[in-house]
Structure 1
Amino acid sequence: MDNNKLGTKPHYQILDGLRGVAAIIVVFFHLAEPLSSSHLNNVVNHGYLAVDFFFLLSGFVIGYAYDDRWNKLTFSTFLRRRFERLQPLVVLGMTLGAVGFYFTDSTIWPHIHSVPVWKLIVVMLIGYTLIPIPLSMDIRGWEEMHPLNSVGWSLFFEYIANILYALGLRKLSNKALACFVVLAGAVLLHFAVTNPNGDVTGGWTLNAEHMRVGITRTIFPFFAGLLLSRVARPVYIKNAFLWCSVLLAAVLLMPRIGGAEHLWLNGLYEALCIIIVFPVIVYIGASGVMHSQREDKICTFLGRLSYPLYMTHYVLVYFYVAWLSNHGGITLWQAWPYALLTFSGTIVLAYASLKLYDEPARAWLRKKLK
């Protein structure tokens, strides 16, 4: 089936902009993380919740874009569309990670220089497919399923959610979907408040524990977003992008709650953010309207930049972490110029990736996969 026969729907520009805001905070989180002594004192403490926000946004957008098209849509056509959208930057991120791999040799990864080229290439090629690698193939030493581009783990679970939707969960009535979402929310809440870490982090290692975390973090927000796209009746809300951006930033920048003595409080906070606050933000964003050309341009730019930024930024973060490791004991105030330089580099790399690679690659795939 020709994908173009399905046409496209107007974008929710404000939601696109919010995706960009979340992606920028993810970068800040990854730059601040190696400067913290523990998960209790990261200055961008809840930045990792942006991934859960992405899952909810994805479910909302997938429901809006495809729910009423399955009379013209097949499973293979749906997957081709998702492949066209997601896969080019997956390939680029893994390739850049491989190119930079040996240059990140440092005190934190002293064994990198001894990794044979053949093994690096095998890991890169497997990374193109997003199939998780076993721990025996972990060439960096962080027990990641994608050691050349750490963020690949979330795309793996994104594909799982998309496949589950297309295979059958899209057929659930609103009532049945609501029951499924409530059950998934209960599982998420239980996990968050009982997790010994006091948070919902995890999902990037190929073992039973992390796979459970990844599935738990994916299923509720994705299908809650799908349900929201079906039942929400947007109303006019003024300055929606501004208010949503402020609320999202406040949630992701919130300091750790409960400390080491009451870890469950932080887990409860994170569960409530995912279950209640994020859907509210998406609802408000979907209800908003553009007030000026400037706001429209900002949201459009942030939306287009968001996915390239997310999928390429960690390539530069590896260099940043290696530099920090080689300058042990450096403080946040000493590191901020290098963090700012790295952040600026991630923006430039993301924009170059978008214009020089992602957009041309997607256009080429659309022609080839008709």
Structure 2
Amino acid sequence: MNNNNIATKPHYPILDGLRGVAAIIVVAFHLCEPLATSRFTQLVNHGYLAVDFFFLLSGFVIGYAYDDRWNKLTIGGFFRRRIERLQPLIILGMTLGAIGFYFTDSTLWPLIHTIPVWKLLLVMLIGYTVLPIPLSMDIRGWQEMHPLNSVAWSLFFEYIANILYAVWVRKFSTLALSVLVAIAAIILFHLALTSANGDVTGGWTLNVAHIRVGLTRTMYPFFAGLLLSRVAKPAHFRNAFFWCSLWIAVLLFMPRIGGADHLWLNGLYEAICIIFLFPAIVYMGASGKVDNPVENKVCKFLGEISYPLYMVHYPLVYFYVAWISNHKGITMAEAWPYALLTFSGAILLAYMSLKLYDEPARRWLRKNLK
């Protein structure tokens, strides 16, 4: 049986649009990050929570797309579809990171030009598989499991969640899934409140502490999204795309809460966002309708560029971060033209990647992965 012949269900256009909104905020977060003097002064302070929102969206969409199809779908067919969707842009992101590696001349990476080409190529090839590299192979010095394209750490955990779903969790009853989600929520709540930094950041280094954070940040939102896809009864929310986008922006731009003296308050805020508010936003988005053709086009465009933007923007951010580090003391007022140029370049690169590479690559994979 050819699992690629299983018809694709209609998308939720508003959820597509919200994924694009979150991806844009991620780019803004990464552009403001090198200008912040500390985690308390970051302008897009909670932008990293977009990753947790992505996991929730992913779990919801996976549940909607596949939960009722396992009588016609094999595990191999499921993974072929996921590889077709995820892998081309992982490969492109790693390639772009490798191409730009030696050109990011900065005091942040003093040893970058001493890395032999063979090691760079080896790290790139491992990156194509999205498997993490050990710290001994870190060629940038930031202790990243993917030093050529930092954001790929979340794709590593995305694959773990997909494996758990296909092999095991898809067979859970709604009650069993609810118990799993409740346990994951408690673990996430504990992490958020006890974190040394007062937040849930982490997951991008191959060590015990970061793997714990990465798994904790993945398990609750992904499987909460899956549970939501099973139990949610659609309602009707007017102007859902506008209100959901506004809420995402408010939550992710929210300044640091509690200050240095009450770090747990910020952790509590983040736990509430991930455990309660993000599912509410996804529910509203899934229940809403696009109100006019313009909104439909906006949602479609944002949905299409969301994943390409996420996967190709960071190679450009490396150049931007290098420039910031070589101009110490620069302010946002001085840096904004360069930030805007990087942001615009990321949008353009994402769209070109989508049309010239990702869509053709997926068509080829769809035809040949049988």
Deviations 1:92-117 (CA, angstroms, capped at 9, x unpaired) = 00000000000002111121111100
Matches within 5 A, 1:333-352: 333-352=333-352
Match of 1:183 in 2: 183
Query: Does the aligned pair in 2 maintain the 1:51–1:154 contact within 8 Å?
Result: yes
Match of 2:211 in 1: 211
* In structure 2, C-alpha distance between the alignment counterparts of 1:74 and 1:6, rounded to whole Å: 11
* In structure 2, C-alpha distance between the alignment counterparts of 1:281 and 1:323, rounded to whole Å: 37
Query: Does the aligned pair in 1 maintain the 2:3–2:72 contact within 8 Å?
Result: no
Matches within 5 A, 1:111-260: 111-260=111-260
Matches within 5 A, 1:255-294: 255-294=255-294
* In structure 2, C-alpha distance between the alignment counterparts of 1:118 and 1:300, rounded to whole Å: 41
Match of 2:23 in 1: 23
* In structure 2, C-alpha distance between the alignment counterparts of 1:188 and 1:339, rounded to whole Å: 33
Following TM superposition, by how much is the alpha carbon of 1:4 offset from its aligned partner in structure 2, in angstroms?
3.2
* In structure 2, C-alpha distance between the alignment counterparts of 1:144 and 1:4, rounded to whole Å: 35
* In structure 2, C-alpha distance between the alignment counterparts of 1:204 and 1:168, rounded to whole Å: 25
Structure 1 stretches lacking a partner, 5+ long? none
Following TM superposition, by how much is the alpha carbon of 1:367 offset from its aligned partner in structure 2, in angstroms?
0.7
Match of 2:48 in 1: 48
* In structure 2, C-alpha distance between the alignment counterparts of 1:151 and 1:108, rounded to whole Å: 18
Residue 5 in structure 1 maps to residue 5 in structure 2: yes
* In structure 2, C-alpha distance between the alignment counterparts of 1:169 and 1:4, rounded to whole Å: 22
Match of 1:91 in 2: 91
* In structure 2, C-alpha distance between the alignment counterparts of 1:180 and 1:114, rounded to whole Å: 47
Following TM superposition, by how much is the alpha carbon of 1:300 offset from its aligned partner in structure 2, in angstroms?
0.2
Amino acid across the alignment from 2:257:
I
Match of 2:367 in 1: 367
Q: In structure 1, the residue corresponding to 2:47 is in which secondary structure? A: coil
Following TM superposition, by how much is the alpha carbon of 1:5 offset from its aligned partner in structure 2, in angstroms?
2.3
Following TM superposition, by how much is the alpha carbon of 1:324 offset from its aligned partner in structure 2, in angstroms?
0.5
* In structure 1, C-alpha distance between the alignment counterparts of 2:171 and 2:272, rounded to whole Å: 28
Match of 2:311 in 1: 311
* In structure 1, C-alpha distance between the alignment counterparts of 2:191 and 2:237, rounded to whole Å: 34
Q: In structure 2, the residue corresponding to 1:43 is in which secondary structure? A: coil
Question: What is the RMSD of the two structures over their aligned residues, measured on CA atoms?
Answer: 0.5
Match of 1:320 in 2: 320
Deviations 1:312-347 (CA, angstroms, capped at 9, x unpaired) = 000100000000011111111111110000000000
Deviations 1:229-288 (CA, angstroms, capped at 9, x unpaired) = 000001111000000000000000000000000000000000000000000000000000
TM-score w.r.t. the length of structure 2 is: 0.99
Following TM superposition, by how much is the alpha carbon of 1:173 offset from its aligned partner in structure 2, in angstroms?
0.5
Following TM superposition, by how much is the alpha carbon of 1:6 offset from its aligned partner in structure 2, in angstroms?
1.0
Amino acid across the alignment from 1:127:
G
Query: Does the aligned pair in 2 maintain the 1:105–1:111 contact within 8 Å?
Result: no
Following TM superposition, by how much is the alpha carbon of 1:298 offset from its aligned partner in structure 2, in angstroms?
0.2
Following TM superposition, by how much is the alpha carbon of 1:2 offset from its aligned partner in structure 2, in angstroms?
1.6
Amino acid across the alignment from 2:177:
L
Match of 1:33 in 2: 33
TM-score w.r.t. the length of structure 1 is: 0.99
Deviations 1:153-176 (CA, angstroms, capped at 9, x unpaired) = 000000000000000111111011
Amino acid across the alignment from 1:87:
Q
Deviations 1:44-99 (CA, angstroms, capped at 9, x unpaired) = 00000000000000000000000000000111110000000000000000000000
Q: In structure 2, the residue corresponding to 1:229 is in which secondary structure? A: helix
Following TM superposition, by how much is the alpha carbon of 1:3 offset from its aligned partner in structure 2, in angstroms?
2.9
Match of 1:358 in 2: 358
Amino acid across the alignment from 2:95:
T
Query: Does the aligned pair in 1 maintain the 2:236–2:287 contact within 8 Å?
Result: yes
Identity of aligned residues (%): 74
Amino acid across the alignment from 2:299:
C
- State the aligned residue count: 370
Deviation beyond 6 Å, 4+ runs, structure 1: none
* In structure 2, C-alpha distance between the alignment counterparts of 1:168 and 1:6, rounded to whole Å: 21
